[in-house]
């Protein structure tokens, strides 16, 4: 994915085959950036950035663009560093395989960003991005990730997912971490928290919390740090919260002594919870909304073993999503509806170990995405292409990010026992 370039070596290669990515000028549709040959990724160079925080910004941009899996980040060396200063020699960069150059100048107010179309030999996009005053702060990093995502949109036509965060649980506390694995911090007190979920605003989170009388749903404001316990159905089990796409309601599983069913309540209190599923003594948990908010996917044991079902948000029109044959005792659970609505990720036991699968809603085509270790609790990134999940492949539970299209996988967390991840939406207005 990454190629080192040596100017001297590149010069020697001038007579060899043409660079893999042929950049062409195109202004068709929303793709205001570059086009390139199908099956290849455009080579992108982030030019060295001057100033005290320049190296840091360059490193974040490079990492973000790399993790987006849509461009090929070409790492420059000290040789190309000199090539980047002063007048830009498009011909040389084209020889390297660069389709785009990202040129950032840090100013008092933030970052002045220009993206060069190497093939067209011109600047394709220019924009000033404000940056918070405190470099390396959470907000500063989030703003730099926002630059990465906008640059990725300029180049590929699709916004990146760097300006997102992942919620998860480790050691009974809820943590949040930037999409690139930096900036980890705890956002709940010590206790036994499980199943964190994002409010679509990115400002609030919900999770379940053990108490002496059972589990309750906690809604926490990340901006103020204040939390509130939903007491619409006190006592017993209150687990696996998820917010509706419009942010107005919260769906969770509640159980006492006659099975566990899904309930819906106002996201910020007021009014009684309304029951959604009629499980008749079985377990119905782990809801996930369709992006339009009209349907829910969830795990149910109503057929005698856990399978994934979908239903309208009022509980009607229940359908078994994951196919099973008579006598099949497989265990399928933890659905997560993709942001484009086409797919649902879930986990299925293969030879006794959970693996991440996807199923298409149109024709129920199932695809297995993982095979190494135990892999579970997948959550989609807002691009509908990357997934974060829990994997035991290193011997302990850690979060990994998978590009479902290329199969490329990277480790997101390094604290043992990290699990139950939830990927945020784009946090361009987050606190």
Of 377, 379, 404, 409, the residue at the interface with another protein (CB under 8 A) is 377
Of 60, 102, 194, 422, the residue at the interface with another protein (CB under 8 A) is 194
Residue 174 in contact with another protein, rule: CB under 8 A: no
Q: Hey, what are 425's tokens?
A: 């939406």
Number of residues near another protein (by CB under 8 A)? 38
Residue 256 in contact with another protein, rule: CB under 8 A: yes
Q: Can you name the residues that pair with 123 across neighbouring β-strands?
A: 116
Residue 427 in contact with another protein, rule: CB under 8 A: no
Of 48, 255, 315, 373, the residue at the interface with another protein (CB under 8 A) is 255
**34 neighbors 24 (Cβ within 8 angstroms):** yes
Task: Name the 3-class secondary structure at 337.
Answer: strand
Residues 77-116 touching another protein, rule: CB under 8 A, are none
Residue 418 in contact with another protein, rule: CB under 8 A: no
Residue 283 in contact with another protein, rule: CB under 8 A: yes
**391 neighbors 372 (Cβ within 8 angstroms):** yes
Q: Which stretch binds another protein (CB under 8 A): 99-107, 148-156, 199-207, 208-216?
A: 208-216
Min CB(327)–another protein separation in Å? 15
Of 171, 214, 247, 291, the residue at the interface with another protein (CB under 8 A) is 214
Of 163, 188, 260, 370, the residue at the interface with another protein (CB under 8 A) is 260
Of 60, 420, 426, 430, the residue at the interface with another protein (CB under 8 A) is 420
Query: Measured from the CB atom, is 213 or 429 closer to another protein?
Result: 213
Residue 193 in contact with another protein, rule: CB under 8 A: no
Of 331, 393, 408, 431, the residue at the interface with another protein (CB under 8 A) is 331
Query: Measured from the CB atom, is 156 or 347 closer to another protein?
Result: 347
Min CB(243)–another protein separation in Å? 16
Residues that bind another protein (CB under 8 A): 192, 194-195, 208, 210, 213-215, 236-237, 239-240, 253, 255-260, 281, 283-286, 299, 301, 305-306, 331, 333-334, 347, 352, 354, 376-377, 419-420
């Amino acid at each position: 994915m990454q190629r080192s370039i040596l100017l001297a070596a590149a010069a020697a290669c001038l007579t060899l085959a043409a660079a893999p990515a042929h950049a062409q000028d195109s202004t068709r549709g929303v793709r205001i950036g570059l086009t390139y040959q199908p099956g290849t990724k455009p080579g992108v160079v982030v030019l060295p950035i001057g100033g005290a925080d320049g190296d840091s910004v360059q490193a974040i941009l490079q990492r973000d663009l790399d993790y987006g899996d849509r461009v090929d980040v070409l790492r420059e060396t000290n040789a190309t560093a000199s090539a980047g200063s002063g007048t830009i020699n498009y011909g040389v960069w084209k020889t390297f395989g660069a389709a785009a150059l990202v040129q950032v100048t840090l100013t008092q107010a933030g970052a002045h960003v220009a993206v060069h179309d190497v093939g067209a030999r011109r600047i394709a996009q220019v924009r000033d991005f404000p940056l918070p005053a405190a470099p390396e702060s959470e907000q500063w990093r989030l703003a730099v990730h926002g630059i990465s995502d906008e640059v990725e949109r300029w180049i590929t036509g699709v916004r990146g997912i760097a300006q997102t965060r992942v919620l998860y649980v480790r050691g009974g506390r809820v943590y949040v971490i930037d999409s690139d694995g930096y900036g980890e911090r705890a956002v709940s007190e010590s206790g036994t928290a499980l199943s964190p979920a994002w409010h679509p605003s990115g400002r609030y989170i919900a999770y379940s919390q053990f108490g002496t009388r059972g589990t309750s749903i906690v809604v926490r404001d990340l901006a103020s740090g204040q939390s509130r316990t939903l007491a619409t159905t006190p006592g017993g089990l209150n687990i696996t919260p998820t917010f509706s796409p419009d942010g107005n309601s919260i769906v969770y599983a509640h159980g006492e002594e006659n099975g566990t069913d899904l309930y819906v309540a106002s996201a910020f209190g007021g009014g009684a919870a309304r029951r959604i599923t009629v499980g008749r003594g079985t377990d119905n948990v782990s809801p996930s909304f369709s992006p339009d908010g009209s349907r829910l996917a969830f795990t149910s044991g109503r057929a005698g073993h856990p399978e994934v079902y979908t239903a309208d948000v009022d509980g009607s029109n229940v359908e078994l999503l994951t196919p099973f044959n008579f006598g099949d005792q497989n265990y399928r659970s933890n659905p997560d509806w993709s942001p484009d609505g086409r797919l649902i990720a879930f986990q299925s036991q293969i030879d006794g170990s959970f693996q991440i699968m996807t199923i298409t809603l149109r024709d129920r085509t199932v695809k297995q995405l993982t095979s190494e270790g135990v892999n579970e609790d997948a959550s989609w990134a807002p691009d509908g292409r990357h997934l974060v999940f829990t994997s035991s492949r290193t011997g302990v539970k850690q979060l990994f990010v998978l590009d479902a299209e290329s199969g490329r996988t990277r480790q997101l967390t390094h604290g043992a026992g990290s699990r139950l991840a939830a990927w945020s939406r784009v946090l361009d207005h987050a606190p």
